[in-house]
Structure 1
């Protein structure tokens, strides 16, 4: 049985160590399984408390993907076992995943995420929490949940709201794929370093004189990464999001979700990236569209911990409702790309159904993530 995550501690010149975690499921594009989460969480906790560990690096095996998302097929099987009802495996998976994401966000040492290749869904949930988030020339990042009847979870309520110019709402509604420049522009990444420089980064980190002052260690790592970014910048791709900034602001300026969706899908523009985003929204779930819009509205002033608490309720209900199961069936199981969505348009969606998704599942003190942010 191959380890789903490989752990290694590299000794630096001054005796400190770098903790390296590698998602080891190359064939599934390092999809984040429950077993991976159960390996990562305790190891990260241990490294956080180990004074000899100065920096942590999280990466994916192979060159194709850091992590292409959650273990959606396993979640599908859990939903199929509990059709139209509460599925305990759904709650268990998302509870563990959000705890892991929160730990990365609040990690008290420099935490590097090497976001090479595909970074989607659950992969982005881990990447966005890092203190030093690296993208490369092959980075392809998306929250494409509208295509499977879900919504941008893993902290999307928090980080999509932090993006400039209503980009978060646009990316959440369309599931549009973005590149390294887009990731930097929207605040999902910190550094652009070409993939061939990863070993150079590691080699240089091994020579750094890491100390016991965390803020200084952050600065030392910044210096190393800044130099490598300067050497990489000639390969930085053009930002699709920045190029379409004006039209994104225009189409997302409506007063209601129906106005916004109608504006996105009807605006005439000759841009392949934007046109692909329009197509994804047209074929996506109307329920997902409503969930995206409302999660960002209600989450505007929420803390990160409260965003995860909100999302756990939404995700458990997505597992119960049936839209998520149908979306996964059409895209990944039967692969007919013909999902039978509950509603044929945003306008025709029953708002009482959307209200049900946002109705609290637990009393505050009984919430599975009640202790998040209070440890």
Structure 2
């Protein structure tokens, strides 16, 4: 084992009144495993009652990103190895951390610099102050592997303007910094060259300056959001009642971006798309805890009941043939109430005790 291999996967330290959590697997773009989740949880629990800590800062080591998501290859190995319980333990730990961040009694600042996707959204998206940079690329890309958004992603998607949430959830589309602010996944745009100054200012904060006021000192206006510019046709198309009608409306649009979106959806798991559409719309009601419970029902349904998740990971990350065999293969072959089975599924172990 080299010194690099032995390095902690989460760097935990304090700087003045600042508690810092830095995800530290830069070669893997800080992809989360259950040990990293547990380390972060232990640190947050300790700082909860520590009167010396007033702000928590979460960021990622390296310049490639905060977090590329969870370790889906490990999830694949668990499912094909018959270890559904191990998958359940991972999701339960991850979602508990997501909710802890959202409900934390002290201000949590997350810097979503670079790639921040899937599980990375669960870390950053529920913080009090969410910072993006010109390098930020945010997404909930789960449908690309025949899966459905989780980690509270449906809660955020369900509150995006108009039908942007359905669009992003179904396509797994990537947001720029401007898009992330517009869609409600981020609050402030800070150029990456100023991140060091921001971290230092947070660590040296002097009362009565609030964390929000400090971030505003570095906040700039990003370029215009592409999502904002495309919203008219997105709202019209993705307001449709069903996945089949969304496809029909896309085919009738003249915009190049609509045609590109139609081409994307044709390649994805019809079941994953149907489950995601149902999940985003369900998450418009209730709070984050409700959304997480709904997501957990659906992800464990995929783990235990439906083959498209394993097939999607196989095609993308294991065999890498990029030729998944979805069941069913096309949107017209979906049952009338596609998504209902996943919505109604009752996991053997509940999400929250």
Q: Structure 1 residues 45, 275: closer, same or farther in 2, change over 3 A?
A: farther
Secondary structure class of the residue paired with 1:47: helix
Q: Structure 1 residues 288, 45: closer, same or farther in 2, change over 3 A?
A: same
In 2, the alpha carbon distance for the partners of 1:329 and 1:362 equals: 24
The answer as to whether partners of 2:247 and 2:262 remain within 8 angstroms in 1 is no
Residue deviations 1:245-269 (CA, integer Å, cap 9, x gap): 1111111122322101332355331
Residue deviations 1:266-289 (CA, integer Å, cap 9, x gap): 533134xx6554433221110011
Partner of 1:134: 131
Q: Is it true that 1:7 corresponds to 2:4 in the alignment?
A: no
- Shift in Å at residue 200 of structure 1? 0.6
Q: Is it true that 1:18 corresponds to 2:18 in the alignment?
A: yes
Secondary structure class of the residue paired with 2:20: strand
The answer as to whether partners of 2:311 and 2:324 remain within 8 angstroms in 1 is yes
In 1, the alpha carbon distance for the partners of 2:278 and 2:338 equals: 13
Q: Is it true that 1:30 corresponds to 2:30 in the alignment?
A: yes
Q: Is it true that 1:333 corresponds to 2:318 in the alignment?
A: yes
Partner of 1:369: 352
In 1, the alpha carbon distance for the partners of 2:155 and 2:178 equals: 21
Q: Structure 1 residues 362, 67: closer, same or farther in 2, change over 3 A?
A: closer
The answer as to whether partners of 1:175 and 1:280 remain within 8 angstroms in 2 is no
- The answer for unaligned runs of 5 or more in structure 2 is 1-5
CA RMSD of aligned residues (A): 1.8
Q: Is it true that 1:149 corresponds to 2:132 in the alignment?
A: no
Query: Aligned residue pairs: how many?
Result: 347
Structure 1's consecutive aligned runs of 4 or more residues displaced over 4 angstroms after TM superposition are none
Q: Structure 1 residues 144, 195: closer, same or farther in 2, change over 3 A?
A: same
In 1, the alpha carbon distance for the partners of 2:139 and 2:263 equals: 15
Q: Structure 1 residues 362, 27: closer, same or farther in 2, change over 3 A?
A: closer
In 2, the alpha carbon distance for the partners of 1:304 and 1:121 equals: 16
Q: Structure 1 residues 42, 28: closer, same or farther in 2, change over 3 A?
A: same
Partner of 1:270: 256
The answer as to whether partners of 2:9 and 2:25 remain within 8 angstroms in 1 is yes
Q: Is it true that 1:313 corresponds to 2:303 in the alignment?
A: no
Q: Structure 1 residues 140, 3: closer, same or farther in 2, change over 3 A?
A: same
Partner of 1:49: 49
Q: Is it true that 1:201 corresponds to 2:198 in the alignment?
A: yes
Secondary structure class of the residue paired with 1:69: coil
Secondary structure class of the residue paired with 1:165: coil
In 1, the alpha carbon distance for the partners of 2:281 and 2:198 equals: 40
What is the TM-score of this pair, normalised by structure 1? 0.88
Partner of 1:174: 171
- Shift in Å at residue 110 of structure 1? 1.1
Q: Identify which of structures 1 and 2 has the higher relative contact order when contacts are C-alpha pairs closer than 8 Å and 6+ apart.
A: 1
Q: How does 1:25-174 map to 2 (within 5 A)?
A: 25-82=25-82, 87-174=84-171
- Shift in Å at residue 163 of structure 1? 0.7
The answer as to whether partners of 1:34 and 1:71 remain within 8 angstroms in 2 is no
In 2, the alpha carbon distance for the partners of 1:79 and 1:165 equals: 36
In 2, the alpha carbon distance for the partners of 1:298 and 1:40 equals: 29
Partner of 2:247: 261
The answer as to whether partners of 2:301 and 2:345 remain within 8 angstroms in 1 is no
- Shift in Å at residue 156 of structure 1? 2.1
Secondary structure class of the residue paired with 1:53: coil
The answer as to whether partners of 1:179 and 1:237 remain within 8 angstroms in 2 is no
Q: How does 1:227-238 map to 2 (within 5 A)?
A: 227-229=217-219, 232-233=220-221, 236-238=222-224
Partner of 1:304: 288
In 2, the alpha carbon distance for the partners of 1:354 and 1:188 equals: 25
What is the TM-score of this pair, normalised by structure 2? 0.93
Secondary structure class of the residue paired with 1:58: strand
- The answer for unaligned runs of 5 or more in structure 1 is 12-16, 211-215, 371-375
